[in-house]
Structure 1
């Protein structure tokens, strides 16, 4: 196995194991609060919401900062730092005795998380010239499949060893991810690859990154696709029930639909590279947004749950392909020495979409469940039109972002 392939395998495997380890226990957090003595349903919902929300909120704020440090000191050590923090927090969660202990640990986790963005950066760094889309797609596929399998594995683990000890199993997953990155990822190869970049020594600030060609537009695309993708979570079981599925089958049918969306999203990530060889990134993103809008429209028009099984694969593949194309388009314009900061900003956009989507869906869904999917259709259609009209095509002259004088921020 060549060095670049080994590096890509390391970050893909670490992403899959880490995302699996996270969803091994987090879906069962409300049950854990019951175990800690919280009995009131409202209190359980409050603690669960706060504990699940605080980590991505802090991560969204700090991702660009960790990315900047990774640009200065190396991606590998920053990913190892983040994964080790997960080992410690997951392990400590197994020994908590109060609900606020869980919240405090999740807040601490948010301060040190961010390995997801950094693994995408490492994949882009390790990719041979012209293969960035394939590398990013592989890591995003792993990040999709992990959460699809994690709850199933977690349910089995909790049954065998108990919910409290399941957190120790999750910590072991993260420890395995640390070992893989430490043993297999060779950052020297990345430095040699970066040395070929004529712009590697340019002083680049966050303002410069935002000024790169299409970068702000891609942040908006990633926010929009993530917002739409996560809008289904709070209301899909309710919508399945509205379409006439019996109460005893709602959980099963909803679970199958979520799994289909995750699996087809992974397919979209994986095959996006092939699409980008034939079409421009603007064409792929616009087409993916339009196809996803058609899939969401299938939800709006559905008269029975059968329609959802037709619309979901279409929606999932399109969202996956669009997301990988957006990350690839943004990553291709960032100099190697600033990719950590760049992918950190992209992750911030993604996490903000992830955080806002359930809130908006819940409020809008209280009025009409179909209105949530209608909002998705409108948002995706706007994305498709804006990308086709605004996105600069390869080879089109674009204004150069101003170069910064060497400063403490750029160093």
Structure 2
């Protein structure tokens, strides 16, 4: 088997598990906080929001830092650091004696982040141009699918094995990822003895600044769109379902439908982007996602919502790899890790911002408006992409 394929398999598994580790706590967090001694409902809600969101905010800060380290010391060392660090941190959450320790460990998890950034940079730099779209497309399914399926997995583990097992099983999987990286990931990396560039110097060295910013914003909007329904999906499913005994399961399946579609579609759309151009896939997928959000506000039962979420997963599947392909194409190889780090920060902020947006809009205007506003954001982004990316790259083809 070719080296890049081996690297891709190991990195896919690791990113998938890491994404689950970031998101699986969502359905069990309020129950675990209550288990740790907090009984007031309002306090549980507030602490859950802090504990869930703090990881993404801190990850957004530290992702570019680890991206810079990946460019200087190699991507494999960063993968090993992040996988082992997260395994230890998430495992310790199962032993947390109180909510303050739990929040501290969630904060530390955000600091240790950088796994996805290092893996993306490794695959982007070690894969030949002919297979870059397929490789990055396949890799992108891991992060999105893990993030979307994570809450469902966390809920199932809690139901079968108990609360603390959610953390222990995730930690064990990350430890397996660490071991497989040590044994199977190969990297051809030459250390360059040069000064570490500041963020300002990195920005000056980027040749296509407007294009790069547009890709960051597109990645941010994608994350907002995917996470905007997270605070409302369970309540929305409850309104749609006549059977109240399986609400959590139905909500998990609804949320995970996008992840399943992403796994199926992303490698194929990644290959297609190699043939027709990543900029065309980006524009088509943004418009498609914007359209699919609208009928979600008018569904009459849970199965209709699941079907539309599945279609949304197909549309969004083309965005992640195509954004990475464009970034790779316009970024000097020496800056790849840092630029992907900035892009991952945009994704983390989008995940946090999407959850906040969805909760606030649903609470103040109603749940249907979450879908309308998210759709509007996607359409605005599509117009920007058309003028800043599509027209420019179409002229250069």
What TM-score does the superposition give when structure 1 sets the normalisation length? 0.86
The correspondence of residues 179-198 of structure 1 with structure 2, limited to 5 A, is 179-188=179-188, 191=190
Task: Give the alignment's Cα RMSD to 1 decimal.
Answer: 2.6
The partner residue of 1:330 within 323, 327, 332 is: 327
Counterparts of 1:283 and 1:165, CA distance in 2: 44
Corresponding residue for 2:100?
Answer: 100
Corresponding residue for 1:264?
Answer: 261
Q: Does 1:144 align with 2:170?
A: no
Q: Does 1:352 align with 2:334?
A: no
Indicate the SS of the match to 2:95. Answer: coil
CA contact (8 A) 1:144 1:263 kept: no
CA contact (8 A) 2:84 2:174 kept: yes
Question: How many residue pairs end up in the alignment?
Answer: 388
Corresponding residue for 1:214?
Answer: 211
**Residue 60 of structure 1, CA deviation:** 0.2
Counterparts of 1:365 and 1:141, CA distance in 2: 28
**Residue 161 of structure 1, CA deviation:** 4.9
Q: Would the alpha carbon gap of residues 281 and 50 (structure 1) be closer, same or farther in structure 2, given more than 3 Å must change?
A: same
Corresponding residue for 1:127?
Answer: 127
The partner residue of 1:321 within 318, 321, 343 is: 318
The correspondence of residues 230-241 of structure 1 with structure 2, limited to 5 A, is 230-241=227-238
Corresponding residue for 1:371?
Answer: 369
**Residue 119 of structure 1, CA deviation:** 1.2
After alignment, is 168-177 or 13-22 more displaced?
Answer: 13-22
Deviations 1:37-81 (A, max 9, x none): 111122222222111111110110111111111101111111211
Q: Does 1:224 align with 2:221?
A: yes
Counterparts of 2:222 and 2:236, CA distance in 1: 21
Between structures 1 and 2, the one with greater helix share: 2
Counterparts of 1:250 and 1:159, CA distance in 2: 14
**Residue 233 of structure 1, CA deviation:** 1.0
Indicate the SS of the match to 2:374. Answer: helix
Corresponding residue for 2:45?
Answer: 45
Counterparts of 2:315 and 2:180, CA distance in 1: 31
Structure 2, unmatched stretches of 5+, are 193-199
Q: Does 1:242 align with 2:239?
A: yes
**Residue 2 of structure 1, CA deviation:** 1.9
Corresponding residue for 1:291?
Answer: 288
Q: Would the alpha carbon gap of residues 384 and 28 (structure 1) be closer, same or farther in structure 2, given more than 3 Å must change?
A: same
**Residue 296 of structure 1, CA deviation:** 0.7
Counterparts of 1:151 and 1:356, CA distance in 2: 18
Counterparts of 1:394 and 1:169, CA distance in 2: 45
CA contact (8 A) 1:213 1:333 kept: no
**Residue 99 of structure 1, CA deviation:** 0.9
Indicate the SS of the match to 2:129. Answer: coil
Counterparts of 2:58 and 2:342, CA distance in 1: 13
Corresponding residue for 1:200?
Answer: none
After alignment, is 150-159 or 218-227 more displaced?
Answer: 150-159
Structure 1, unmatched stretches of 5+, are 195-202, 399-411
After alignment, is 137-146 or 49-58 more displaced?
Answer: 137-146
Corresponding residue for 1:404?
Answer: none
